[in-house]
Structure 1
Amino acid sequence: MKRLLIIVLLLSAVSCGQKDPAPGGEPVRIIFDTDLGNDIDDVLALQMLLNYEKEGRAELLGITLCKANPATIAFTDGYCRFDGRGDIPLGYAYDGVTPEDGTYLLPTLEASFGGEPLLRPARTIDSGLPEGYKLLRRLLAAQPDASVVLVAVGPLTNIGNLLVSEADEFSSLSGRDLVAAKVRRVVTMAGLFGDEFDFPEYNVVCDLEASHRTFELCPVPLTTTGWEVGNLLPYPHESILTDFGDPEAHPLPVAYRHYMQMPYDRPTWDLTAVLEAVEPGKWFDRSPKGTIRIAADGRSSFEASETGMQEYLVIPQEKAAAALQALVNCTTGKNLKDMNP
């Protein structure tokens, strides 16, 4: 761990945003589906997307929340307002999973700095947010064909519901046909691959039915980053304490320090999905094309095939330090002024 951190700190020239993420250098149109409130990596992944948007590398069309806890609405709204995106469309999985409060939602919502609330949410459970899959339908229907990247980093409730949805006021297409028409690519943080570990991955088993729907029905290319990838890239806690100004004045370090007892370096599971979505093929290797299958107990497997449209990320040891530095830079906004879209 110490050796990896030393190598990372030496790679200061590595930056977020060194490769055009979309044809013609256009910002990547992203919809972010997250279970923010469960693990802290969702917050870091959200900050990455907000930073990418500031540099013109991504356009964050909306956020759908798959954690069925009302505090996730207030936290996400307040966090986006803190970062200047109070207008971001939000959807919510009212019938979702993981209703528990977790460890950082409520303390961060209650935090203050200089006598003022740190987060100032304007939307709550009483705001009448649309169902997550309904917001997905509305946002997708308004986009050009084959233009959107769906990034899903939690249980796949909203994505699964979208794929089996029927025609509505937003589109005459079924959910699957709507995805086929509007989505260029799906990037998920889900599953576990390789031979080193063997257990059902959390996001998959939390909503097993939705996981089956997603991997079996997705009609467009799908890339997943498995548990083993983010596990190899622990986010350095030193960055949390030093890269966001006064750690009492920014909701990210406040939430990070409430999630677990410091010091700890949390794996970057969800962050790797964002990095791959905006900068495809730059930081990670990929498996051959094929099909990802989810067993009855939630374990994931992969079958290569010439006709398959699914793949998973691979992180060789020699690429780990550079990838981790990219994740840190994109989360902190480091070198932002020097990045060209």
Structure 2
Amino acid sequence: MASSAPIHLVFDTDIGSDVDDALALAVLLGSPEADLLGATTVYGDTRLRARLTKRLARLAGRALTVVPGAAETLTGRPVWWAGHEGRLFTDLDTESADPGDAVAYLVDRVTAAPGEVDVVAVGPLTNIATAITSSPAFARDVRHLWIMGGRFDTAEPEHNLKCDPEAAAVVFGSGAPITVTGLEITTTVRLDATDVAAIAAAGPLGEALKAEIEQWWRFWNEEWNCPHDPITVLTLLAPDLFTFSPEGRVTVDPEGTSRFEPGEGRTRITTAAPAKRVAQEIVHRIIAAASST
């Protein structure tokens, strides 16, 4: 799917909890081949998440459309909230989310240009599932869905799918073309203090990301993190770095456990990634975004 033409995309995110969403946004902002049309937020306080997205984009010198989306899961499952979302910025209330509804925004963007717009979804899949059920054209017209979710080497549920497995089942059953990257791949890549120092030196966005990373490290009492969502972004932007399965079908059970079966279907999973090269590419693109102002 590599192309010299711009990649038109919408970013659907639960930014603010795990720092990897913020890092994925920075990777997109630092990638000249990515035409980031806008972002939608999902899960919990989606207006706060939208304001945080706006702020980070502004620190990169970008004015980005960000539309809040579904706060609740499809069946009202409790929302997991870390408690530190947005706290590093005391003036986030000065940022304004864009008006409208995330689902309508997703449907409008995708159906206005059939086969031309990708969606990168790195949070629970509530917005995407609702777009699919509200508009039959969405699954037909989206160029490709790029999802961070699941685990395909064990029966361990993964956070994004576990938070709203009903939504995940809708998305994977929709017939839309999908690439999904699971924990068995994303947990092989780590960012450490050396990477964070390089990011922090790149300007205001880099400094903000350093603070967000270290906040996440303190939450888990670690000094490293796995960049799950930036890896998923790179499967779109730099697919030659990765190995993918043949197409098949992903199923998700009510506990959020995912299973891939090759054969009939339009979903493929990421099966291999060179950990060091992927980490380097993530840091390089984040620095490019942070140095652009």
For Structure 1 versus Structure 2, the TM-score category normalised by the shorter chain is 0.7 to 0.9
SS of the aligned residue for 1:243 comes to helix
Among 18, 29, 54, the residue aligned to 1:77: 54
For 1:67, the equivalent position in structure 2 comes to 43
Superposed counterparts of 1:146-161, under 5 Å: 146-161=115-130
Moved over 6 A (4+): 246-249
On the 8 A contact 1:71/1:106 being kept in 2, the answer is yes
Residue 290 in 1 paired to residue 245 in 2?
A: no
On the 8 A contact 2:54/2:66 being kept in 1, the answer is no
Query: For residues 65 and 160 of structure 1, what CA distance do their matches in structure 2 show?
Result: 14
* Offset of residue 141 of structure 1: 3.2
For 1:135, the equivalent position in structure 2 comes to 105
On the 8 A contact 2:10/2:38 being kept in 1, the answer is yes
The code of the aligned residue for 1:200 comes to P
* Offset of residue 277 of structure 1: 1.2
Superposed counterparts of 1:231-250, under 5 Å: 231-245=187-201, 250=207
Among 277, 284, 287, the residue aligned to 1:329: 284
SS of the aligned residue for 1:254 comes to helix
Query: For residues 275 and 148 of structure 1, what CA distance do their matches in structure 2 show?
Result: 16
Query: For residues 250 and 104 of structure 2, what CA distance do their matches in structure 1 show?
Result: 26
Q: Which moved more, 1:243-252 or 1:261-270?
A: 243-252
Query: For residues 28 and 121 of structure 1, what CA distance do their matches in structure 2 show?
Result: 31
Query: For residues 214 and 42 of structure 2, what CA distance do their matches in structure 1 show?
Result: 23
On the 8 A contact 1:62/1:139 being kept in 2, the answer is no
Among 186, 206, 210, the residue aligned to 1:230: 186
- Offset from partner CA, 1:98-122 (integer Å, 9 cap, x none): 7565354332212xxxxxx6x6842
Query: For residues 59 and 6 of structure 2, what CA distance do their matches in structure 1 show?
Result: 22
The code of the aligned residue for 2:116 comes to S
On the 8 A contact 1:34/1:152 being kept in 2, the answer is yes
For 2:88, the equivalent position in structure 1 comes to 108
For 2:65, the equivalent position in structure 1 comes to 88
SS of the aligned residue for 1:64 comes to strand
On the 8 A contact 1:103/1:258 being kept in 2, the answer is no
Superposed counterparts of 1:307-322, under 5 Å: 307-315=264-272, 319-322=274-277
For 2:2, the equivalent position in structure 1 comes to 21
* Offset of residue 80 of structure 1: 1.4
The code of the aligned residue for 2:171 comes to T
Structure 2 spans left out of the alignment, 5+ residues: none
Q: Which moved more, 1:95-104 or 1:156-165?
A: 95-104
- Offset from partner CA, 1:196-252 (integer Å, 9 cap, x none): x431111101011101100011x3321100011110001123221233327887321
On the 8 A contact 1:75/1:121 being kept in 2, the answer is no
For 2:26, the equivalent position in structure 1 comes to 47
Distance change (3 Å), C-alpha of 1:87 and 1:320 = closer
SS of the aligned residue for 2:62 comes to coil
Query: For residues 104 and 86 of structure 1, what CA distance do their matches in structure 2 show?
Result: 24
Query: For residues 146 and 130 of structure 1, what CA distance do their matches in structure 2 show?
Result: 24
For 1:13, the equivalent position in structure 2 comes to none
Higher Rg = 1
Q: Which moved more, 1:320-329 or 1:88-97?
A: 88-97
Query: For residues 81 and 249 of structure 2, what CA distance do their matches in structure 1 show?
Result: 35
Identity of aligned residues (%): 26
Q: TM-score, normalised by structure 1?
A: 0.76
Structure 1 spans left out of the alignment, 5+ residues: 1-19, 111-116, 166-174
Superposed counterparts of 1:210-289, under 5 Å: 210-217=167-174, 219-245=175-201, 250-261=207-218, 264-280=223-239, 282-289=240-247
On the 8 A contact 1:62/1:89 being kept in 2, the answer is yes
Residue 185 in 1 paired to residue 185 in 2?
A: no
Residue 122 in 1 paired to residue 95 in 2?
A: yes
Query: For residues 93 and 193 of structure 2, what CA distance do their matches in structure 1 show?
Result: 26
The code of the aligned residue for 2:96 comes to R
Query: For residues 285 and 87 of structure 2, what CA distance do their matches in structure 1 show?
Result: 25
For 2:131, the equivalent position in structure 1 comes to 162
* Offset of residue 63 of structure 1: 0.5
* Offset of residue 329 of structure 1: 1.5
Query: For residues 108 and 98 of structure 1, what CA distance do their matches in structure 2 show?
Result: 25
Query: For residues 228 and 88 of structure 1, what CA distance do their matches in structure 2 show?
Result: 33
Q: TM-score, normalised by structure 2?
A: 0.88
